Structure formats: C-alpha cells, structure tokens
Structure 1
Amino acid sequence: MVDILHRVGVVAPLDDVYRAVATPEGLAGWWTTDTVGKSAVGEQVAFRFGAAGGFDMEVLTLDPSGHIRWRVVEGPEEWVGTEVDWRLDQRGDYTVVLFTHEGWREPGEFMHHCSTKWATFLMSLKELVETGRGRPAPDDVAISDWH
C-alpha cells in the first residue's frame, strides 16, 4: 500500500479550518462547488467534478479537536477503499494540516496526478480560510490534460 502525504500551515484558528474540511458548505468553498451530503459519522458526502466524475466518501471520524477521516465508497477503482485522513493542530497563529490519502494499491500515474491535485486543493483550502475565497472545481488550477 502507498499513501499520499501533505502538510500545510493555515494562518487561522483550528475551528475555522475544521469547518472548511468537516462541512459540505466548507468543502464546496475549496474542493468542488458540487458537494452534497450530510456531515455526520456514518453518513456520506458526494463530490462531483463535471465530466471527470467524482467520489462518495463515508464519514468515519468528525472530531472538532482536529481529526476528520473519510473512506471512499464510490469513485474511480484506484480510490475505492482508500481513506482520507485530516489531522489539524493549532501551533501559534497556524493550524497545521497533516493530510493523508492512504491505502493506494500502487503508485501509478493516476496516483501521481491525484497527489498533485490534492496539493493544489490544499492551497485552495488555505486561501479559502485565510482570505474567504478558495479555488474549488470547476475554477481549480489545471495541472495537465486530466485537468
């Protein structure tokens, strides 16, 4: 198994970062505007990216002290069964986000693409919380012919 790992510091209180990751409204502000679902353990949140498709995540953990975890239940074959883990830690003026997308079966080209896209979306999260405006799909940074 292979994991995608990222770390980013957001100049904001942990509660603000938590809301941006733990609620469909927050997620729609930095990941994709087409986000629907219920933010509760055992419920699902659906993320769509136009013609590229999307993912359905089951909410496994919602801890306002700084931990969110999802399991991918629908989406591309490479994603199904993987888990996305968010650890938030307040350190002075920063909330440090430790991001893991774990359980990839192999480090193929699609995983490389997704790692870079996660990085661009984490920058969008940072922008949303710090400035009030993120770059969610469909207005996200295009990184290749896969978007």
Structure 2
Amino acid sequence: MVDILHRVAVARTSPEKVYDALTTTDGLAGWWTTDTTGDAAEGGVIAFRFPPGGFDMKVLETTPSEHVRWEVVDGPDEWVGTTIDWRLRTDDDWTVVMFEHQGWAEPVEFMHHCSTKWATYLMSLKSLLETGVGAPAPRDVHVAFPD
C-alpha cells in the first residue's frame, strides 16, 4: 500500500477554525467543492461532487481541533476503501495540517494526478482560512487527466 502525504501550515488561524473547515458541509464547500452535501458528523457520510464524478466519505473519527478521519465508500475504484486522515497541531501562530490519503493499492498515474489535486485543494483550504476566499471546484486549479 502507498499513501499521498502533504503538510500545509495556516497562518494566524486556530485549530478550531481549521477543524470547522474539515467537519462542516459549509466549511468543506468553501475549499474543496461547492457541491458538498451530507452529514459531516462522526458516523455520517459526506457526498463530494465534481465534474464529472465524485466521492462519498464516511466520517470515521473526529477529535475536536486535533483529528479527522474519513473512509472512501464510493467513488473511483482506486479510492474506494482508502482513508483520508487530517491531523492538526499548533506551532507558534500557525496551525499545521498533516494530510494523508492512505491505502492506495499501487502508485498508478491516477494517484500522481490526485496527489497534485490534493495539493491544490490544501492550498485552497489555506487561502480560505487566511483570506476568507478559497478555490473550491469548479473554481479550482484544473489539472488535466486524460481518459
């Protein structure tokens, strides 16, 4: 198994605000995709829709201001059964987000694409929290992936 790993630090933002951006549909819609619905509470399922498809994530764990973990229960075959893990910590005036998309079967080209997209969305999260304006789909950075 292989994982996608990223780290981003958000300036002058509390872990509580980052946690809210990861655990509410309005927060998620502000940086990942505007088409976000469902139940973001522990045990719930969140639906994220993008042109041309999407993902459903079951919320496995939430620890306020510290940790969020999802399991992909519907979406592309490469994603189903993988987990998304968010760990938050403070470092002076920064909240550090340690991100892992865990459990990929192998490092296929689609995984490379998704790693790039995750990086753009993490920068969108950073921007939303630092400036009030994110770049969720469909206003995200487009990275072409051939069919």
Runs of 4+ in structure 1 off by over 3 angstroms are none
- 2:10 equivalent to 1:5: no
1:145 CA displacement: 4.4
Aligned to 1:47: 48
TM-score by length of 2: 0.96
Q: Distance in 1 between matches of 2:83 and 2:113?
A: 17
Where does structure 1 lack aligned partners over 5 or more consecutive residues? none
Q: Distance in 1 between matches of 2:40 and 2:4?
A: 24
TM-score by length of 1: 0.96
Q: Distance in 1 between matches of 2:35 and 2:14?
A: 26
Contact 2:6 2:119 in 1 (8 A): yes
Q: Distance in 1 between matches of 2:112 and 2:49?
A: 20
Contact 2:21 2:27 in 1 (8 A): yes
Quick check: 18-27 or 137-146, which moved more? 137-146
Q: Distance in 2 between matches of 1:40 and 1:21?
A: 10
- 2:101 equivalent to 1:93: no
Aligned to 1:62: 62
Cα-to-partner distance string for 1:5-61 (whole Å, 9 max, x where unaligned):
0000001111111111111110000000000011211110000002x2000000001
Give the SS at the match of 2:70: strand
1:91 CA displacement: 1.1
Where does structure 2 lack aligned partners over 5 or more consecutive residues? none
Q: Distance in 1 between matches of 2:8 and 2:127?
A: 11
Q: Distance in 1 between matches of 2:91 and 2:99?
A: 16
Taking every aligned residue pair, what percent have the same amino acid on both sides? 63
Cα-to-partner distance string for 1:62-113 (whole Å, 9 max, x where unaligned):
1113100000000000000000000000111100000000000010000000
| Counterparts of residues 66-145 of structure 1 (less than 5 Å) | 66-145=66-145
Q: Distance in 2 between matches of 1:41 and 1:22?
A: 9
Contact 2:113 2:145 in 1 (8 A): no
Give the paired residue count: 145
User: C-alpha root-mean-square deviation of aligned residues, in Å?
Assistant: 0.9
- 1:127 counterpart letter in structure 2: S
